[in-house]
Chains A and B, each alone.
Chain A
């Protein structure tokens, strides 16, 4: 990034001159991203909808990306800017690894992302915000960790679960009721899809599983073995089993009252 800013600063996302605008810019926005930790790792998942105002801009957008072998980023906010930010973030991690011969610490990666979001503040003020969720496996501490951000680059580590995007309030509510300390990997993946289902249920900008078009949430798992994205079959199995249960119980699993 330092090299880029010296030599080709126009390639950096934050350095673009903006035309003067009247009113909000219409650009596709991504919506809900959720993450949950389990003993031995972390799961990061996102829905597939991008919206532009009241229009669905894209049904099958991908909003969760591997950042490197042991971490992943999910993006909410202006899709174009966010994808570019992730691309630069991936590049930086890889570049550091090759030049130094060692990986950045998870904390270091999270801090780097924070600076990148901060550099986008001018655009965020014009309505082009990018708010990612960063999750990774900390090889030193041997556990999964989640970091959330605000538009100014403020970084905070989340315990157990986190969500970002327009449907995040509903997803967080669902996760709060479903989370347990002893989730297995497959339970954790089911939990995030449940949370995304609830977000899609109440937020018009979040897409639910689309059985007709075979579009299912993107679910990724990061453990000691590295990053893994669930295949289409695996995530369709999870989504379909949830869908089947919801035919009988539309609001999903009931938590105990006391």
Chain B
């Protein structure tokens, strides 16, 4: 019988972390920003079928970078957890903190289990509050830790550079159009510092809007509405945003 090579636990963990980080870095980055009326998710996504952002529950949204089949698994798990909680107790008893804890447990277990390969995913779980102070954003790296974020967060390949860029420019109380533009600027910067144009149809955008009259605050923004928001310049943004809100309210969607 051959003797296996000895690998120190430190080395084994470092290798696994390296593997996961490389996998995540291959995917495109995405950003999650707070704005005056909620939280906006922006990412570059050429596919219309495979979403990076989705609704988990009334006030909770989910964003993921990395391998699609792995985060889709986690997303469905999250929806099940949230729906079961809400059905057993009450809709108000489903919180982003609880959900983030479940994700952290799952990711942590998979990361340190020798039987499985680590998941190559990085998640963001966000909950919109009644006021901007009540907003919660949690970032969950591949190893099962939880980072409580404020204002803006970026995950995926180019995350560090993008989040530096966002940290310098993001302010509290931005309008949706301002936040969206900032996010697109941040995403269009390449690793080598040069900029490229991301056309609107390659963007995936979703919001958790606290002003929505419905219980479920998650909404995707696409097509004409997205084009309008991207074109709006500083002066007219406020009124445009209001017009959008009204149009949406009458949508009843």
Would B54 and A91 count as touching, CB distance under 8 A? no
Would B76 and A99 count as touching, CB distance under 8 A? yes
Which residue of B54, B84, B251, B252 contacts A101 across the interface (Cβ within 8 Å)? B54
Q: For residue A11, which residues in chain B have a CB less than 8 angstroms away from its CB?
A: 87-88
Would A8 and B83 count as touching, CB distance under 8 A? no
Would A101 and B51 count as touching, CB distance under 8 A? yes
Q: For residue A99, which residues in chain B have a CB less than 8 angstroms away from its CB?
A: 76, 79
Which residues in window 134-164 of A have CB below 8 A to B?
Answer: none
Which residues in window 73-91 of B have CB below 8 A to A?
Answer: 76, 79-80, 83-84, 86-88
Would A3 and B84 count as touching, CB distance under 8 A? yes
Measured CB to CB, the closest approach of chain A to B175, in angstroms, equals 27
> Given A69-B253, A226-B252, A95 and B83 touching (CB < 8 A)?
yes
Bound Cα distance A99, B250 (Å): 26
Residue A21 at the chain B interface, CB threshold 8 Å: no
Would B253 and A226 count as touching, CB distance under 8 A? yes
Which residue of B55, B250, B252 contacts A98 across the interface (Cβ within 8 Å)? B55
Would A4 and B84 count as touching, CB distance under 8 A? yes
Which residue of B76, B86, B252 contacts A91 across the interface (Cβ within 8 Å)? B86
> Given A98-B56, A99-B76, A101-B54, A91 and B83 touching (CB < 8 A)?
yes
Would A94 and B54 count as touching, CB distance under 8 A? no
Residue A243 at the chain B interface, CB threshold 8 Å: no
Residue A251 at the chain B interface, CB threshold 8 Å: no
Which residue of A88, A98, A225, A226 contacts B79 across the interface (Cβ within 8 Å)? A98
Q: For residue A4, which residues in chain B have a CB less than 8 angstroms away from its CB?
A: 84, 87
Measured CB to CB, the closest approach of chain A to B123, in angstroms, equals 16
Name the residue on A nearest B50 (C-beta). A101
Would A88 and B87 count as touching, CB distance under 8 A? yes
Measured CB to CB, the closest approach of chain A to B220, in angstroms, equals 10
Q: For residue B76, which residues in chain A have a CB less than 8 angstroms away from its CB?
A: 99
Measured CB to CB, the closest approach of chain A to B65, in angstroms, equals 19
Q: For residue B51, which residues in chain A have a CB less than 8 angstroms away from its CB?
A: 101
Q: For residue B251, which residues in chain A have a CB less than 8 angstroms away from its CB?
A: 225
Measured CB to CB, the closest approach of chain A to B78, in angstroms, equals 10
Measured CB to CB, the closest approach of chain B to A1, in angstroms, equals 11
Measured CB to CB, the closest approach of chain B to A21, in angstroms, equals 27
Which residues in window 44-70 of B have CB below 8 A to A?
Answer: 51, 54-56
Bound Cα distance A99, B51 (Å): 11
Measured CB to CB, the closest approach of chain A to B75, in angstroms, equals 8
Which residues in window 200-253 of B have CB below 8 A to A?
Answer: 250-253
Measured CB to CB, the closest approach of chain A to B88, in angstroms, equals 7
Name the residue on B nearest A90 (C-beta). B87
Q: For residue B54, which residues in chain A have a CB less than 8 angstroms away from its CB?
A: 98, 101
Which residues in window 47-90 of A have CB below 8 A to B?
Answer: 69, 87-88
A-B contact pairs, 8 of them (CB 8 A): A11-B88, A87-B87, A91-B86, A95-B80, A95-B83, A98-B55, A98-B79, A98-B83
- Interface of B toward A, CB cutoff 8 Å: 51, 54-56, 76, 79-80, 83-84, 86-88, 250-253
- Interface of A toward B, CB cutoff 8 Å: 3-4, 7-8, 11, 69, 87-88, 91, 94-95, 98-99, 101, 225-226, 228
